[in-house]
Chain A
Amino acid sequence: MLELRSITAGYTRNAPVVRDVSLTVAAGESVGLLGPSGCGKSTLARVAALLHRPDSGTLLLDGEPVRHWRHRAPRALRTAFGVVFQQARLSADPRLPLTDLIAEPLRATGRGREADDRTAELAPIVGLTPDLLTRRPHEVSDGQLQRACLARALVLRPRLLVCDEMTAMLDASTAAALVAAVESYRASTGAALLAVGHDRTLLERWCDRTVHWDVLA
């Protein structure tokens, strides 16, 4: 479903963070990408989610090469990916209550009418109570905020989930709850998963296949 071929990417010219990396995620498959911090796995995840344009290489989605990234990518392509970032605090707009945070992708794609139903549907799946939904990010814990961020990633029913160190900042029980929520979503929709992390035990238990960064680079 998603194929990354010889991707080279970075943030400054002549100093790529990711050098000539290839990775394939089949439809419905869950792939764990394991590596030490700073090796470039988050950058690869951003490239895979169409958030960062690579310097060279090809990205194939369902066999079709993707030519544009970020805003230039067609909306249907961008929203095929659901992304959860490591730091929930930074990945939530501090002004939006959790209910608006979760519904934001629906409103941005002109489907605001579904917002209430979809939020009510997702909140129990990720473990958010109704009173938490009315709070703003600074009024909830990191774990609660990450639950909302996962709900936001799922709200458009993506075909591929990219979880970039989703559980790195969380305690074991919250991590387990979030992984369970992802797995129940995948079981019901058959979505694929690219989970990035440095916790070998977690990724090996969670994913069908775990790839170490050293093998790729």
Chain B
Amino acid sequence: MTCDAPVPAGAPAEPEWRAHGPKRRSTRALRVRTSAALVAATVLAVLLVPPLVQLDQQAVDLAAKLQPPSWAHPFGTDDVGRDLLLRCVYGLRVSLLVGVAAALTATVVGTAVGAAAGALGGWADRALMRVVDTFSSVPHLLLGIFIVAMFRPGVWPVVISVALTHWLSTARIVRAEVLSLRSRPYIDAAVSGGASRWRVAVRHLLPAVLPQAALAAVLMVPHAMWHESALSFLGLGLPTHTASLGTLIQGARGSLLAGQWWPTLFPGLFLIVPTLAIAGLAGAWRERINPRHRSELML
């Protein structure tokens, strides 16, 4: 069929693929706006609620234990009568802190290793990439459990555990990017102009890979939050008295069997909704950087 074939009567004036365009754009805009609003609400909640609301999230009230949602306790209470809305906000704060800190650490480590491997090349590249392969050959949840088990339970062991198991993909991405840049004539020109290895890496290579690394960092935040929850749910992450989404869900398992749904549902929603929102924003950003890569949600 040629392009200038006459359009039969009654056929849609626009070709099929074009008719999809504005609709897809509007759903994407809606997704980005919803995600941005949810991320903003999350950040505001975790930053503002603890200093503004003078309530003790640890306050035990055994007389009011396991109450269903009500005006006094919108999310209900847990098995020792603590307000679940407050616990969820505090839990989200800890989970978000762990997620952001772990993602940042993993990205810094991954970028440094990947850039060093790519820029140095030769035996240094081979050695560093074998380290990456060795880390990747162990299932990362297992390795994470091993790392947290070496320390007392707390926030920083979880951050270290998640970061040390998640820098590998960033290292690979950055190395590949640096390798492709390294053979460009502008790097030759820099070498010929007397630039040291360090200057080539810092002035010409790293700035070019930073957008990719920053995107990898944002994409990793929700994943790191899920890891924190998984470790805490297994009882290996944060101590049980510290409210995190993982410890809240873990503590509520017993009451779920007894028919009380609210102590697990609300922390679960607090985990799912913000992580989906962050992933949605990061996906939109990735589509902008690399439009050929249709984004799928990544957790």
Contact = CB atoms under 8 A, between A and B. Distances in A.
Interface of A: 46, 49-51, 70-71, 75, 78-79, 81-83, 85, 87, 90-93, 95, 104-105, 108-109, 149, 152-153, 155-156
Contacts of B203: 93, 104, 108
B193 interface: yes
Interface stretch (B89-97, B108-116, B133-141, B180-188): B180-188
A49 B193 CA distance: 11
A50 B189 CA distance: 11
A91 B188 contact: yes
B204 interface: yes
Given A93-B204, A95-B208, A108-B199, A51 B194 contact: no
A11 B194 CA distance: 23
A71 B188 contact: no
Contact of A78 (B186, B192, B199): B192
B189 A83 contact: yes
14 contacts: A50-B192, A51-B188, A51-B192, A71-B197, A71-B200, A75-B196, A91-B188, A91-B189, A104-B190, A105-B192, A105-B193, A152-B193, A153-B189, A155-B193
Nearest to B184: A90
A104 B191 contact: no
A64 B196 CA distance: 23
Given A93-B204, A95-B207, A108 B185 contact: no
B189 A152 contact: yes
B299 interface: no
Q: Nearest 4 pairs between A and B by C-beta? A: A105-B193, A91-B185, A108-B195, A109-B194
Contacts of B194: 75, 78-79, 105, 108-109, 156
Interface of B: 184-186, 188-197, 199-200, 203-204, 207-208
B185 to A, nearest CB: 4
Interface centre among B185, B200, B208 (most CB of A within 10 A): B185
Contact of B191 (A51, A87, A109, A152): A51
Contacts, number: 70
B194 to A, nearest CB: 4
Interface centre among B193, B196, B200 (most CB of A within 10 A): B193
Contacts of B196: 71, 75, 108
Contacts of A83: 188-189, 192
A85 B189 contact: yes
A95 B196 CA distance: 19
A87 B197 CA distance: 23
B186 A81 contact: no
Interface centre among B196, B200, B203 (most CB of A within 10 A): B203
A104 B196 CA distance: 12
A152 to B, nearest CB: 7
B185 A87 contact: yes
B186 A79 contact: no
A156 B193 contact: yes
